């Protein structure tokens, strides 16, 4: 059962136990409209979800919370000593292999610095001197902590009883549909990376009779004038999407695309359409989200929190409608709602405010959305399960990503373009010098060699979503769709070197952020590569936090135990290798942007890879790079991307 909250304000060293929370709090109202002083809070204020508490008094500090204060960047790199300490900690971990000992050493050094500063303050009789000394030597002295709001407490027995009742009701409704249930699913986010894979797999799932996708009209603009030249209706967008996914004939008839917007009440669906859906829908799958790691707080809040709230209310209205056939709501979150935990285990069923804060507003707002889901589950009685993928990458066997260029695809494409730029500058001495400069600085990437990334292929995630539709036991659970075979930063650098031919050098994230990146950007701009400079700056800012030492370990098991997914999770190194190959040959490192062309290429790519596997009797991901290139060249003309 889900632990909705933990009262431990510093959960780094004391993880919440699994099971429903007798200690935890179940909010009667997650989003209060006023703070404890009676002041009105803005719709998107973090104070609706999070309390700022004084360590000294244990009482809430009644001032609005700045969203930036909840991110890790607000609490690091305060002075050169802080930067040096982080760098030395990284090196010591690599030398000793004992992260716990290094962390304990940092705490001891911090404590010693605190005592020295206090002694200096006592000797001078000045608190101001003590404070200045702490600031000078980089001592961390937190006098506040954050925790998720608590509005009421329910016993473990009460939580368990409520969730078991919801599961029982869902089980009865599912059983009533017979041994071969014909499911009607409403999907948000159909045009996104994850949504496209859902449509592709749903087209072959005999349990699913109808998928209704909520889609906004698309405005096509002139590339030069930016004027709107055409507006595609949801039906037109859906038809194009199905064609690109190669879904046709009888399979295409199960898909319907309706006008809507997740940021509006009732998902922006017209009343007549709502009346029809109330009578037929069995499930709501909420995939829509903003996955921009560098987006502004307000934008992330609207997409991830307000969108989730609207989807939950929509599902609740379906469930409460007379004669409803509704069975279950499936909320897609992220395993990174647990934030920065410094190598401690991020438990599936526990949600606590992270001691080391959040990497970005995407993580923060996804955690807020999860709180909304908890509230609607327990207080409102919505039958809902939460699936939490880690960092989603392309298909495990092909690397296919339906044209996505975000997240992990972005650095791979940047490295590939850097390699091409270096190769094109070899004609003369000046060009070779410029190529050397690009190679020396553009191939640096912030990443501690010991850092581990939790990458999960998109096909595994959608397998989990589809499985949950007929597993009532998933209601009231948080389920990580992550992996137990994480990939290290040095493995990523090695595979990138083998597949792309660029020698990616891992740069310490702390030094990269504070020293290397400003120099790199200035050098590239002076060398006539402003776009590459901006791309590297953006990549360093976004991904540096995920490549530092002490990444969280995501607990897994519910994907197998509850959803019944295969015990053997996809091989992460193989999946990452196929991502590199896909981006190199199919996307040409992001230069191929036309989605129709990408769809054509991915269809042929999958066919050719299947033929190679049949010929060699092994998975293509296991083939060494040179052998793979040889087999690929025999079957595919890479210039025209046509079959030989």
What is the arithmetic mean of pLDDT over 458-462?
A: 98
What is the arithmetic mean of pLDDT over 16-30?
A: 38
CB 519 within 8 A of CB 440: no
pLDDT per residue over 207-241, tens digit each?
A: 999 999 999 999 988 888 888 889 999 999 999 99
Question: Is pLDDT at 450 greater than 90 in this prediction?
Answer: no
pLDDT per residue over 302-314, tens digit each?
A: 999 999 999 999 9
The rounded radius of gyration (Å) of the Cα atoms in the chain is 26
What is the arithmetic mean of pLDDT over 352-381?
A: 92
Name the E strands within 199-252.
208-215, 218-221, 228-232
Q: At residue 324, what are phi and psi to the nearest 5 degrees?
A: -65, 140
Across the strands, what pairs with 123?
A: none
Eight-state DSSP code of residue 551:
P
Question: Is pLDDT at 554 greater than 50 in this prediction?
Answer: yes
User: In the structure, what pLDDT confidence band is assigned to residue 23 with cuts at 50, 70 and 90?
Assistant: very low
CB 386 within 8 A of CB 479: yes
Question: Is pLDDT at 539 greater than 80 in this prediction?
Answer: no
Q: Most confidently modeled of 77-91, 456-470, 519-533? A: 456-470
User: In the structure, what pLDDT confidence band is assigned to residue 14 with cuts at 50, 70 and 90?
Assistant: very low
Between the alpha carbon of residue 250 and those of residues 180, 244, 247, 253, 254, the distances in Å are 19, 16, 9, 5, 7
CA distance 453 to 506: 14
Burial 179-218 (b: 16+ CB within 10 A, else e): eebebbbbbbbbbbbbbbbbbbbbbebeebebbbbbbbee
pLDDT per residue over 568-596, tens digit each?
A: 999 999 999 999 999 999 999 999 999 99
* Segments in 79-155 forming alpha helices (H): 80-96, 99-124, 127-137
Strands 384-389 and 328-332, sheet pairing = parallel
What integer best gives the mean pLDDT of the chain?
A: 85
Concatenating the DSSP letter of every residue in 295-358 gives: --HHHHIIIIIIHHHHHHHHHHHHHHSTT----EEEEE--GGGG---TTSEE-TTB----TT-B
Side-chain half-sphere CA neighbours of 140 within 13 A:
16
pLDDT per residue over 96-149, tens digit each?
A: 766 667 667 766 766 777 777 777 777 887 777 666 766 666 655 567 899 998
What is the arithmetic mean of pLDDT over 199-208?
A: 96
Burial 131-149 (b: 16+ CB within 10 A, else e): eebbeebbbeeeeebbbbb
Reading the block at residue 265, the tokens are 């009440």
What is the arithmetic mean of pLDDT over 341-363?
A: 86
Say what the pLDDT of residue 35 is: 57
Of 40 and 412, the one with more pLDDT: 412
Question: Is pLDDT at 198 greater than 70 in this prediction?
Answer: yes
Q: Most confidently modeled of 69-73, 304-308, 505-509? A: 304-308
- pTM for the structure as a whole: 0.88
User: In the structure, what pLDDT confidence band is assigned to residue 343 with cuts at 50, 70 and 90?
Assistant: low
Q: Kindly state the percentage of the chain with pLDDT values over 70.
A: 83
What is the arithmetic mean of pLDDT over 559-564?
A: 97
User: In the structure, what pLDDT confidence band is assigned to residue 12 with cuts at 50, 70 and 90?
Assistant: very low
Say what the pLDDT of residue 386 is: 97
Topology classification of domain 153-394+456-481: Rossmann fold (3.40.50)
Among residues 163, 165, 160, the alpha carbon closest in space to that of 21 is found at: 160
Q: Most confidently modeled of 153-162, 463-472, 493-502? A: 463-472
Domain ranges of the chain: 79-137, 153-394+456-481, 409-455+485-643
Question: Is pLDDT at 482 greater than 80 in this prediction?
Answer: yes
Of 273 and 131, the one with more pLDDT: 273
Say what the pLDDT of residue 519 is: 80
Reading the block at residue 559, the tokens are 């994907």
User: In the structure, what pLDDT confidence band is assigned to residue 249 with cuts at 50, 70 and 90?
Assistant: very high
Say what the pLDDT of residue 24 is: 36
* Segments in 379-486 forming alpha helices (H): 409-423, 429-441, 458-468
CA distance 465 to 285: 8
Question: Is pLDDT at 474 greater than 90 in this prediction?
Answer: yes
């Amino acid at each position: 059962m889900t632990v909705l909250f933990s009262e431990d304000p510093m959960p780094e060293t004391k993880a919440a136990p699994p099971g429903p929370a007798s200690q935890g709090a179940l909010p009667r109202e997650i989003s209060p409209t006023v703070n404890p002083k009676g002041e009105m809070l803005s719709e998107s204020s973090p104070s609706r979800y999070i309390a700022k508490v004084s360590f000294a008094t244990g009482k809430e500090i009644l001032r609005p919370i700045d969203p930036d204060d909840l991110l890790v960047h607000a609490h690091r790199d305060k002075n050169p000593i802080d930067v040096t300490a982080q760098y030395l900690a990284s090196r010591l971990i690599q030398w000793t292999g004992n992260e716990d000992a290094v962390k304990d050493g940092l705490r001891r050094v911090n404590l010693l610095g605190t005592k020295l500063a206090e002694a200096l303050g006592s000797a001078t009789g000045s608190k101001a001197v003590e404070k200045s000394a702490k600031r000078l030597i980089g001592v961390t002295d937190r006098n506040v902590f954050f925790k998720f709001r608590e509005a009421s407490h329910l016993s473990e027995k009460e939580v368990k009883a409520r969730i078991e009742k919801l599961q029982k009701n869902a089980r009865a409704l599912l059983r009533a549909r017979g041994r071969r249930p014909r499911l009607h699913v409403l999907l948000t986010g159909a045009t996104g990376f994850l949504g496209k894979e859902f449509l592709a797999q749903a087209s072959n799932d005999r349990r699913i009779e109808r998928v209704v996708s909520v889609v906004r009209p698309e405005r096509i603009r002139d590339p030069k004038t930016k004027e709107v030249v055409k507006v595609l209706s949801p039906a037109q967008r859906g038809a194009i999407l199905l064609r690109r996914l190669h879904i046709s004939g009888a399979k295409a008839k199960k898909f319907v695309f309706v006008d809507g917007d997740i940021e509006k009440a009732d998902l922006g669906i017209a009343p007549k359409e709502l009346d029809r859906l109330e009578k037929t829908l069995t499930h709501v799958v909420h995939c829509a989200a903003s996955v921009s790691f560098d987006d502004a707080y307000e934008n992330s809040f609207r997409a991830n929190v307000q969108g989730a709230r609207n989807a939950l209310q929509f599902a609740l209205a379906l469930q409460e409608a007379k004669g409803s056939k509704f069975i279950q709501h499936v909320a897609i979150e992220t395993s990174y709602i647990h934030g920065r935990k410094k190598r401690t285990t991020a438990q599936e069923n526990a949600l606590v405010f992270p001691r080391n804060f959040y990497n970005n507003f995407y993580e923060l707002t996804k955690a807020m959305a999860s709180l909304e889901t908890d509230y609607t589950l327990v207080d409102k009685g919505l039958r809902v399960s939460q699936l939490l993928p880690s960092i989603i990458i392309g298909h495990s066997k092909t690397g296919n990503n339906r044209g996505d260029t975000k997240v992990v695809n972005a650095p791979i494409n940047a490295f590939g373009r850097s390699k091409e730029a270096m190769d094109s500058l070899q004609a003369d001495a000046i060009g070779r010098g410029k190529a050397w400069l690009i190679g020396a600085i553009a191939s640096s990437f912030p990443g501690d060699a010991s850092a581990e990334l939790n990458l999960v292929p998109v096909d595994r995630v959608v397998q989990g979503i589809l499985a949950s539709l007929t597993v009532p036991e998933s209601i009231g659970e948080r389920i990580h769709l992550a992996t137990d075979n994480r990939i290290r930063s040095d493995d990523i650098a090695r595979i990138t070197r083998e597949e792309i031919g660029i020698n990616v050098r891992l740069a310490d994230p702390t030094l990269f952020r504070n020293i290397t990146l400003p120099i790199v950007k200035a050098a590239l701009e002076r060398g006539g590569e402003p776009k590459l400079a901006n791309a590297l700056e953006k990549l360093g800012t976004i991904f540096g936090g995920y490549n530092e030492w002490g990444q969280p370990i995501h607990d897994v098991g519910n994907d197998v135990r509850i959803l019944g997914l295969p015990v053997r999770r996809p091989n992460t190194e193989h999946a990452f290798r196929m991502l590199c190959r896909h981006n190199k040959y199919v996307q040409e490192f992001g230069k191929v942007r036309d989605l129709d062309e990408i769809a054509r290429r991915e269809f042929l790519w999958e066919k050719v890879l299947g033929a190679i596997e049949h010929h060699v009797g092994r998975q293509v991901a296991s083939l060494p790079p040179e052998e793979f290139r040889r087999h690929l060249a025999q079957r595919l003309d890479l210039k025209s991307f046509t079959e030989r």
